[in-house]
Amino acid sequence: MLGPVSSKIKSISKLKYDEIPFEHWGLTATQTRRITEQKDHSMRDKRMTLKEAVTRYIKDGINLGVGGFVNTRVPASIIHEIIRKGTRNLTLSLQSNSICLEWLAGAMLLDPDRVSIKRVELAWWGYELIGIAPLWRYLVTNRIVETDDYTNYGMSVRFKAGAMGIPFIPVRDHGGSDMELVNRGKMIECPFTGENIYLLPSCNPDVGIVHTTAADMYGNARIFGALCTCPEISMASAYTIMTTEKIISSDTIRRYPNLTEIPYVAVDAVIEQPFGSYPGACYGYYWFDMDHLRMFRGLCDDFSKTGKKDGLKKYFDEYIFGCETYDDFLEKVAGHKKLRHLREMDGGQPIYTM
């Protein structure tokens, strides 16, 4: 039996950190397999409304796998609906994300009985060049959420392991950093080469949420631009809700099978939602709404500096609770001219939905 090997990080690090016994923050790969085995795998029309999908799959206490990357192809419309439905004690699993998480955090700070986040396993939470995420900083500093720190590749391969149905995956990195001390991975000696290698547990969310470029009614999906680990998140999750810019026919999908990035079996709900990643970008369709991202970030920043919730509350009342659907939100917040402008700003190459 192989014991964990010491990489001496404890003697190098400034941190005095005691190891916490390992605990899964969601399903194991095996538990996920058992759920998957029980599902109906036949070709079924999985189209439904966002409301139906969120009511069916989003429960209190689940591990929610959030697709997209930072501001790109993020499942914003699904998060919007989740906040309106309300859900508590969430564990969030993600690579890197921005507005989706800040929306959830804002909802929690306004009314923790409606939305609450218990813990977050992640690589990064921020807006990149637009700035740091004020609510994330607030949640951590005030010990409101528990966190587990990985690298971008680390979270990607954790989903990959989940998607492969295996309990862990070895990586070359993390070792020698403080992540080795604080996260739930382990350094071991490779049984074959004798090299030190870092093992990461698989990540299997209860529900994965992704937005795709185009999909058929069964859930076969195309993704243009960055894949953002969305295929892996869909396959690693016990259930997957997918919004897509455009529903296309099964015949179209079958004409170019190489373009399918997510297979239908990994998907449980399909919702056509144009501008489903707004105010994030969706390759080939529209660019970021920098103004909106900055405006909302500004409200969050005000709250974190002053503790006053008025601005945030007004935003949520108007743009989230004051909307029945994401289309309502888009009409209210952006309008035709703005959306048209964002389409013109998109720098993506042509996408194929024929």
Partner 1 sequence: MADYKLTELMTIRCAKEIKDGEVVFVGVGLPIVVVAYAFATHAPNMIMFTEGGAIRATPPIALGITVDDPALFTNADAAFGMLATMAALQRGEVDVAFIGGAQIDKYGNINSSGVGNWTQKESWTYFAGSGGANDMATSGKRVLAILPQDKKKFVDKVDYITTPGYLEGPGTRERLGMIGGGPTCVVSTMGVYRFNDVTKEVYLAEFFPGQSIEKIKANCAWDLQVSPNVVETTPPTADEVKVLRGIDPTGFYLG
306 contributes a contact to partner 1 by CB under 8 A: no
318 binds partner 1 per the rule CB under 8 A: no
Task: Enumerate residues 165-194 that contact partner 1 by CB under 8 A.
Answer: 171-179, 182
Q: Helix crossing, 50-57 with 76-85: angle to 10°?
A: 60
Shortest distance in whole angstroms from residue 96 CB to partner 1:
7
Binders of partner 1 among 333-352, rule CB under 8 A?
A: 346-349
Nearer Cβ to partner 1, position 153 or 321? 153
Smallest CA-to-CA distance from 69 within 184, 133, 156 is with 156
Counting contacts by CB under 8 A, is residue 8 touching partner 1? yes
- From the list 12-20, 55-63, 76-84, 298-306, the region that binds partner 1 by CB under 8 A is 12-20
349: closest CA among 274, 281, 287, 283?
283
Considering only residues 199-218, where is the footprint of partner 1 by CB under 8 A?
Answer: none
Among 1, 11, 337, 344, binds partner 1 (CB under 8 A): 11
Under rule CB under 8 A, which residues in 244-283 are in contact with partner 1? 281, 283
Q: Rounded to whole angstroms, how far apart are CA atoms 239 and 270?
A: 12
| DSSP alpha helix (H) spans, the chain | 9-12, 29-38, 50-57, 76-85, 99-110, 134-141, 152-164, 178-182, 230-236, 250-255, 290-306, 310-315, 326-333, 335-345
Can residue 133 be called a binding residue for partner 1 (CB under 8 A)?
Answer: yes
Q: Does 45 bind partner 1 (CB under 8 A)?
A: no
Enumerate residues 62-121 that contact partner 1 by CB under 8 A: 69-73, 95-96
Separation CA 173–CA 180 (nearest Å): 9
Give the residue among 173, 160, 237 at the shortest CA–CA distance from 199.
173
Per-residue tokens: 49: 């409304």
The residue among 298 and 328 lying less far from partner 1, judged by its C-beta, is 298
